[in-house]
A and B are shown apart, each in its own frame.
Chain A
């Protein structure tokens, strides 16, 4: 076999690389120019071009089974399959974020495919309890526009949640395709806000509302998933303002300061989502430290004047930096979006659970005061 010297190889390689995507006529023309006085170079490049054509025609190396006499799973498949979480057998990984992976899995009980999210990585162990607490809370609420939790649990030390897989696409994909405002999606947005209100009615905050977590079923229904329940920010992430990308853009300013967030943080996220639907791009689009700065301190560009004033005001109030200046919950925001038809709901009483929490806090303070005085 002729094995060209390294310098010659590089020469052949560079020319081959230059012409491989060209049409046959353009290839020949370029070779005429480049190989003047060097017919051997031309022959070498033409040999490789011929090999390229034959490779495509023969699907060379495309069918691994032909070589191995047996079905050979891919390394990631085999690795993923090594994971069995209770009754769920992991089939393949769908996507991953810094501290979590989302997998396609087979449910041995129902013989159906489900989606499983599990925590993993160095940061996982301390996140375990808050994660399970959050997903159990979300999973306890049933609503047409919330995904159904099949199981929340822990297996071999790995916390996981399994949900029914109804997604045909996601809002993130829809936004990428539309590349412009989507005012026609307002009814879907309101349906989503209804699902978030169902959580708020139970005193639960979702904490991770963003386009990736809004799944769209085959019938076109928008469903909010709890699969992406937000990671809690580590102290160093808050201090350095280097926030994991998936969170940026839709997480309220107080979340970026390391606070856990309550329903009003969800109102901010819904406001950001509404802004995106009305203007065609997120209020703080750049996934950089500057975006963190902007979300905390700056106002987004004003919405187009074609957007009705009542909607612009609703978005503005939802995106207030101070949670106290926002709508108290998703239902109040939804009412404002509907044009104040049910204006009285914007002054809706605080959910009994939050009221109870406040009362407990007051009693505790009184006890502490009494102890101090005593």
Chain B
């Protein structure tokens, strides 16, 4: 993808002004850029099959955004889109790992213990994603909070600022959201 920074800045601006279509377009631009970079990283056949998230976000950010014109209001929208895109990419990656695991078991090949461990976490990540989809359906703010805090790694303060809620509410919502997800995931087993 080669969307010029000026175009991204325009979309960011519209998204910041509350244009839902622009927010959707932004997410799709960020996602496709992150996915393109992620698949190139994975193609390079790293032994651990992980990718450097820092470089991933760096590259996407550098390519997409005119940094001299990015203010906090715009950046909040970039963060929100990037967190959702990260969730998608990490979960896709976990699904692929699970598929590899199933294939390996079918062929009765011995499993390396380290790989087994990471695969079991991959399974948990996929379950979390499913529970999160359900939470988003019922309570969008709680779901978004999980995307920002867990997949985006935002602090309580950053999350509160981005969602326009108090720090105290952000902390309480985080507890609440985790209780929901935990319950969903327990019930699914």
Binds A, one of B20-28, B75-83, B99-107: B75-83
Most B CB atoms within 10 A — which of A6, A67, A77? A67
Q: Smallest CB–CB gap between B186 and chain A, Å?
A: 7
From residue A125, how far is it (CB to closest CB) to chain B in Å?
Answer: 7
A73 and B182 contact, Cβ closer than 8 Å, known pairs A120-B67, A120-B68:
no
> B152 contacts A74, CB within 8 Å?
yes
**B139 contacts which chain A residues (CB < 8 A)?**
13
Task: State whether B71 touches A122 (Cβ < 8 A).
Answer: yes
How many chain B residues touch A (Cβ–Cβ < 8 Å)? 53
A372 at the interface (CB under 8 A from B): no
Q: Are B121 and A69 in contact (CB under 8 A)?
A: yes
Contacts of A124 in B (CB 8 A): 68-69
Pairwise interchain contact B124-A55, C-beta atoms closer than 8 A: no
**Complex partner residue of B176 from A1, A3, A17, A47, CB under 8 angstroms:** A17
A172→B118 CA distance, assembly (Å): 47
Looking across the interface, which residue of chain B has its beta carbon closest to that of A125?
B68
Shortest beta-carbon distance from A57 to chain B in Å: 11
B residues in contact with A345, CB < 8 Å? none
Interface residues of A in 125-175 (CB under 8 A from B): 125, 156-158
Query: Given A48-B180, A157-B68, A158-B68, are A79 and B153 also a contact pair (CB < 8 Å)?
Result: no
Asked if B58 is at the interface of the complex by the 8 Å CB criterion, the answer is yes
A55-B178 contact in complex given A96-B72, A122-B69, C-beta closer than 8 Å? yes
Would you call B112 an interface residue if the criterion is a C-beta within 8 Å of the partner chain's C-beta atoms? no
Interface string of A35-63 (1 = CB under 8 A from B): 00000000000011101101110001100
Q: Does A180 contact B (CB under 8 A)?
A: no
Q: A61-B150, A69-B121 are in contact. Are A75 and B82 (CB under 8 A)?
A: yes
Whether A61 contacts B178 by the Cβ 8 Å rule is yes
Contacts of B70 in A (CB 8 A): 120-121
Q: Cβ of A48 and Cβ of B153 under 8 Å apart?
A: no
Q: Could you tell me if B153 and A1 are in contact, using CB atoms closer than 8 angstroms? A: no
Q: At the interface, yes or no: B138 with Cβ under 8 Å from chain A? A: yes
A79 pairs with B72, CB closer than 8 A: no
Report the bound CA distance from A54 to B185 in whole Å: 13
**Cβ-defined contact, B67 with A156, below 8 A:** yes
- For the complex, is B41 an interface residue (Cβ under 8 Å from A)? no
Instruction: Determine which of A1, A48, A55, A157 lies in contact with B188 in the assembled complex, contact meaning CB atoms within 8 Å.
Output: A1
Instruction: Please tell me if B62 contacts chain A, counting CB pairs below 8 Å.
Output: yes
Query: What 1/0 flags go to A104-126 for Cβ under 8 Å of B?
Result: 00000000000000001110110
Within 8 A of A (CB), among B101-136: 118, 121, 124-125, 128, 134
Looking across the interface, which residue of chain A has its beta carbon closest to that of B138? A9
Task: Please measure, in the bound complex, the distance between the C-alpha atom of A61 and the C-alpha atom of B152, giving whole angstroms.
Answer: 12
Assess whether B68 is in contact with A20, with CB atoms less than 8 Å apart. Answer: no
Contacts of B121 in A (CB 8 A): 66-67, 69
Pick from A51, A79, A125: contact of B186, CB below 8 A: A51
B57, A1: Cβ atoms closer than 8 Å: no
CA–CA, A75 to B150, complex, Å? Answer: 11
Confirm or deny: B8 has a beta carbon within 8 angstroms of a beta carbon on chain A: no
Taken together as a complex, chains A and B put the C-alpha atoms of A317 and B82 apart, in Å, by 53
Give chain A nearest CB distance to B89 CB in angstroms.
11
Closest-by-CB residue of B relative to A157 is B68
Give complex CA distance A75, B121 in Å: 21
Expressed in whole angstroms, the Cα–Cα distance for A158 and B66 within the complex equals: 10
Answer whether residue B175 sits at the interface, using C-beta atoms and an 8 A cutoff: yes
Bound together, the chains give a CA A163 to CA B78 distance in angstroms of: 28
Q: Which residue of B lies closest to A21 (CB)?
A: B172
Complex interface: chain A residues within 8 A of B86 (CB): 75
Task: Tell whether A2 is near chain B: CB-to-CB under 8 Å.
Answer: yes
State whether the Cβ of A358 lies closer than 8 Å to any Cβ in chain B: no
B90 within 8 Å of A (CB atoms) = yes
Smallest Cβ distance from B148 to chain A, in angstroms? 8
- Answer yes or no: A78 CB below 8 A from chain B CBs: yes
Residues of A within 8 A of B125 (CB): 67
Is B183 within 8 A of A75, CB to CB? no
C-alpha spacing A98/B134, complex, angstroms = 36
Contact with B along A1-17 (1 / 0, CB 8 A): 11100100100010011
Give me the 6 closest cross-chain CB pairs, A-B, nearest first: A74-B153, A121-B71, A78-B57, A52-B179, A51-B183, A75-B152
Given contacts A48-B179, A66-B121, A74-B154, 7 further A-B pairs with CB under 8 A are A52-B179, A61-B181, A64-B150, A76-B79, A78-B57, A79-B82, A120-B67
